[in-house]
Amino acid sequence: MFSKPVPADSLYLAWAAAVFPLAAFGIIMIFLRRLPKAAAGVSLSAIAVSLVCAVCLLARHWHLEMPLESTVQWMASSDFEIPVGVLIDGLSLLMLVIVSGIAFLVQLYSIGYMAGDPGYARYFGFMSLFAWAMTSLVLAPNILQLFIFWELVGLSSYLLIGFWYEKLSASQAGKKAFVMTRAGDTLFFCGWLILLVWGGTVSILDLNHSAHSLSQAMVTASALLVFGGIAGKSAQFPLMTWLPDAMEGPAPVSALLHSATMVAAGVFLLGRLFPFFSQSDAAMTVCLFIGFVSMLLSATMAMVSRDIKQVWAYSTVSQLGFMIMALGAGGYAAGIFHLTTHAGFKALLFLCAGMLIHACETNDMFEIGQAGGRRMKLTVLCMTIGALALSGIWPFSGFFSKEEIMAALAAANSPVWYIGGLAGVFLTAYYSFRLIFVILLPGSTKAHGPGSQSGPEHARAVMHAVLVILAVITLVMGFFAESLQNLLTGQGVNAPGVHGPFPAKVVSPVLAIAGIVVAWLEFGRKDSARIGFAGRISPVARLFGQRWYLDHAYGWLVGRILDRGIAEGCQQNENRVIEKILHTVAGSVTACGRAAAGWHRAMIQSKLMVVFAVVFGLTLILLAA
């Protein structure tokens, strides 16, 4: 076997980490819908318990030699069993801490951010639902359980994006997110079915350890299908356009779900099944390619967007693309490490954006700048720290993780990936600091500062505290790289050497600084035109601004092909063919009826004729027969 059973105390801790938020969700939705304060309290305590459990687990199993797995059978149908359980290894412990930690911080932040919202209790209910689903997802020992919670985090994402349901765009964005991820999930499900029916196992450890005994074609097929789910969840090309739209949700939701944790679930899954994916070169190449395309495409989109949250959303897609590239290139620890650091600084960025949006009541970065967003000193400082980390500047956490990724890419089979990665580094720095400069150094500002910051004073203090905590994490996280790598790779995952050739170490920071400089030249200088190099060429700007026309393609696919094409065809078939046949049958029956009825009005002698004809005719036929 590849695992040992989980000790009872750890098992309880793991269960508690998952179940407390579920209980909070149930209690809030059933009893506390009218009591917002109590709802927030319940939700926060539950996630705090989760966090404590997660940290205890991490501390207890810091030096884990073998994955721990325990399952009980939840449901059985013939030879097919659905077990539920927990799998504890470095990855799940790390993710558990990230998820519960960020969730805790974001919920803390939300107390102030969401204050006064009519759906306050509902918000915390959904947040608890998400916390339950996400913690259970990272603990899942088999793909089915993972899939179930995978769907549930999708559900909570749907609910939270459409949280302000009276905004039509919000509910549409929620729908879009759900349907697009569902499209990926369907592929995931198919892949899972292949593994179950033909592969015979869906246990993650079994798959990772026995993938080589399965046929190559099957591994490739199922890996690619599962990757479909990953692409959907992590908003990779071509299923990427839901994520920018998902920014319709409240900013903390974007911070928690759509940057730090939920969208990272795709990368997590890839990491979970890393040895399995490694068996198929084709699948790994596809990972690399998709990550590459998504990373660059979304970076270009971020270059021209004016919406502060959208920029971070594109950036999220781009960074997820980096992670997937890293994993595709074999840099398991690099990808996961980037996931970890990214969770911290991206949450920070979103929460800062939330503060700005809340204060200035606009999403447009230029307007925020003009409204005097820079006067919110702490916020802007934290945002700058986050942007520096995102750009990969020493000593912020992003530097370390990006370095590892670049090293992994450099070790990959083709230089294309590495060069693309470098371009990505440059673009990342460019668009991050474009935003920072626009807000920090606006050409002109209004006389008055941003409008009164809503919420009571202590709430704002809590929000600021959260920002500071995240900023500190961003600052120090990079120095834990070694220990995290030990945690992750201590269990038989053979990560290739992460220390790449010398130039790599220098080239990418230089490029990042170059990006910052370019951004300063275009946006930061006193008399700069405040228009980016991409924005100068209007077709390119339009291409980037329209998200490479991906949404148009989907609109065309759904609206024209599906809705007005196939579906309308079926509808016409329903009305014109099936109904027509029915009506023809019914009509001919009634017509026959009318004819028969008319026949009975005939003259008596005609009727007699019929009588005689039938009797004698039939008799003759019978005699002849």
Partner 1 sequence: MELHAAQFPFLSTLLLFCIASLGLVLVLPKNSNTAVKWVSAVCSGATLALALFLFAAYDRELGGMQFVEQYRWIPALGISCIHGIDGFAAPMLLLTGIVFFTGVLTMWHLKHRVKEFFALFILLVTGVYGMFMALDLFFIFVWFDVSLLPMYLLIVIWGSTLREYGAMKLTLYLLFGSALILPGIVYLVSVSGLDTFSLPALAQKGVFSGFEQKVAFFLFYVGFGILAGVWPFHTWSPPGHVAAPTAVSMLHAGVLMKIGAFGILRVGMFLCPQGWVHWAPLMAVLATIGIVYGALVGLRQTDLKFVIGYSSVSHMGIVGLGFATMTVDGINGAVFQMFAHGVMTALFFSAVGHFYDQTHTRQIGELGGLCRVMPVAGSYFILAALAGIGVPCLASFWAELLVFIGAFRVYPVLAIISLGVLVINALFILRVVEKTCFGPMAVHWAHLQDVTFGMAIPRAVLAAAIVIFGLMPFLMYEVIQTATIPLINGLNSLAGQTAADSINTLLSQWMSRLP
Partner 2 sequence: MIVPYTHVMLLGGVLFLLGMICTLTRRNLIMIILGLEIMLNAAAITFVGAGLHLQQIEGQAIALFILAVAAAEVSVGLALVVCIYRQTGTVDPQCIEGNKCQLKPDQTG
Partner 3 sequence: MTNWTLFIPELYSLGAAGVFFLFCLCRPDSRRDYGAAMILSALGLFLTVWSVGFQGSLFEGVYRVDLYSQVFKVLIYCGFFLAVCLCADLSGVDESRHSEFYFLLALCTLAMMLLVSCVHLLAIYIALELSSYSLYVLVYLRRGYQKGLESALKYFIMGAASSALMLFGFALVYGTGQSAYLVDLMRDLPGRINEPVVLIGFILALSGFFFKLAVFPFHFWAPDAYEGAPHQVSAYIATASKVAAIAVLIRIIALSGGQSDRLAWFLIVLSVASMTVGNLAAIAQKDLKRLLAFSSVAHAGYVMIGILSLTALGYASAVFYGMSLLVMKFTCFMVVVKASENGRNISTGDLAGLHYRAPVLALALLLALFGLAGIPPTMGFTAKLLIFTAAMKQGLLWLVIAAMFNVVISLYYYLQILKAAYFIEPEGQPPPIVVSTPLKLAAIAMILLMVAGGVYPGPVIDLAGDMTMGLFP
The footprint of partner 2 (CB under 8 A) covers: 601, 603-605, 608-609, 612
Q: How many whole angstroms separate alpha carbon 406 and alpha carbon 325? A: 10
> To the nearest whole angstrom, how small is the minimum distance from the Cβ of residue 581 to partner 3?
16
SS3 content of the chain, % helix, strand, coil (to 5): 75, 5, 20
Among positions 148, 468, 513, 543, the unique one binding partner 1 when judged by CB under 8 A: 148
Give the other-Cβ count within 10 Å of 251's Cβ.
26
Q: Look-up: residue for tokens 């509808």?
A: 571
CB nearer to partner 2: give 212 or 607.
607
Instruction: For partner 2, give the closer residue by CB, 78 or 605.
Output: 605
Task: Give the interface segment with partner 3, choosing from 69-77, 478-486, 538-546, 604-612 (CB under 8 A).
Answer: 604-612
Contacts with partner 1: how many residues (CB under 8 A)?
Answer: 47
Distance of closest approach, residue 616 Cβ to partner 3, in angstroms: 9
Closest approach, Cβ 602 to partner 2, in A, equals: 8
Among 59, 168, 521, 592, binds partner 1 (CB under 8 A): 168
* CB distance 462 to 109 below 8 Å: yes
Helices (H), 392-444: 397-410, 415-440
Q: Counting contacts by CB under 8 A, is residue 604 touching partner 3? A: yes
Q: Which two tokens stand for residue 477?
A: 């996280």
Which residues neighbour 135 within 8 Å (Cβ) at sequence distance 6 or greater?
A: 17, 18, 21, 50, 54, 96, 99, 100
Rule CB under 8 A: is residue 623 a binding residue for partner 3? yes
Tokens 């956490």 map to which residue?
Answer: 397
Considering CB distances under 5 to 8 angstroms, the limit depending on partner class, which of partner 2, partner 1, partner 3, none binds residue 589? partner 3
Cβ 601 to partner 2 shortest distance, Å? 7
State the binding partner of 62 from partner 3, partner 1, partner 2, none, CB within 5 to 8 A by kind.
Answer: none
Residue 581 DSSP label: H
| Touching partner 3, residues 569-598 (CB under 8 A) | 589-590, 592-598
* Least separation in angstroms between CB 613 and partner 3: 8
**How far is residue 273 CA from its own chain's centroid?**
18
343-372: contacts with partner 3 (CB under 8 A): none
Comparing CB distances to partner 2, the nearer of 59 and 609 is 609
Residue 310, exposed/middle/buried by CB under 10 A (0-12, 13-18, 19+)?
A: buried
Angle, nearest 10°, between helix axes 281-304 and 308-328?
160
- Helix (H) and strand (E) counts in the chain: 28, 2
| Contact pattern from residue 511 through residue 550 relative to partner 1, giving x for each residue in contact according to CB under 8 A and a dash for the rest | ----------------------------------------
Residue 622 Cα to chain centre, angstroms: 79
- Report if residue 206 touches partner 1, rule: CB under 8 A: no
Determine if 69 is a binding residue for partner 1 (CB under 8 A): no
CA angle 258, 262, 263 (to 5 degrees): 65
DSSP conformation letters of 46-58: HHHHHHHHHHHHH
CB of 594 to partner 2, least distance (A): 17
Residues in the chain: 625
The residue (of 446 and 607) whose beta carbon lies closer to partner 3 is 607
The listed partner (partner 2, partner 3, partner 1, none) that binds 618, CB under 5 to 8 Å by sort, is partner 3
Closest CA to 476 of 351, 366, 344, 579: 344
In this chain, which stretch among 245-253, 269-277, 398-406, 568-576 interacts with partner 1, using CB under 8 A?
A: 568-576
Closer residue to partner 3 in complex, CB, 118/587: 587
Distant-in-sequence, close-in-space partners of 430: CB < 8 Å, separation ≥ 6: 303, 515, 516, 518, 519, 532
Residue 476 binds which of partner 3, partner 2, partner 1, none (CB < 5-8 A, kind-dependent): none
For partner 1, the closer of residues 75 and 625 by Cβ is 75
Among 9, 65, 361, 568, binds partner 1 (CB under 8 A): 568
Of partner 1, partner 2, partner 3, none, which one does residue 483 interact with (CB within 5 to 8 Å by kind)? none
Task: Look up residue 259 and give its amino acid.
Answer: S
Locus of tokens 């200088």: 525
77 counts as binding partner 1 under rule CB under 8 A: yes
Q: How far is the CB of 220 from partner 1 (least distance, A)?
A: 17
Instruction: Tell me: does residue 182 bind partner 1 (CB under 8 A).
Output: yes
Question: 165 vs 394, which CB is nearer to partner 1?
Answer: 165
Task: Determine the Cα–Cα distance for residues 40 and 25; give it in Å rounded to an integer.
Answer: 11
Chain centroid offset of residue 137 CA: 13
Taking the complex as a whole, the smallest distance from the CB of residue 623 to partner 3 amounts, in Å, to 5
For residues 263 and 229, the answer to whether their CB atoms sit within 8 Å is no
Among candidate residues 283, 287, 278, the one with its CA nearest the CA of residue 220 = 283
For residues 200 and 181, the answer to whether their CB atoms sit within 8 Å is: no
Among positions 23, 196, 218, 381, the unique one binding partner 1 when judged by CB under 8 A: 196
Selection from 460, 405, 255 nearest residue 344 by Cα: 255
Binding residues (CB under 8 A) for partner 1: these are 74-80, 82, 147-149, 151-152, 155, 158, 162, 165-168, 170-172, 174-175, 178-179, 182-183, 186, 189-190, 193, 196-197, 558, 562-563, 566-568, 570-571, 574, 578-579, 582
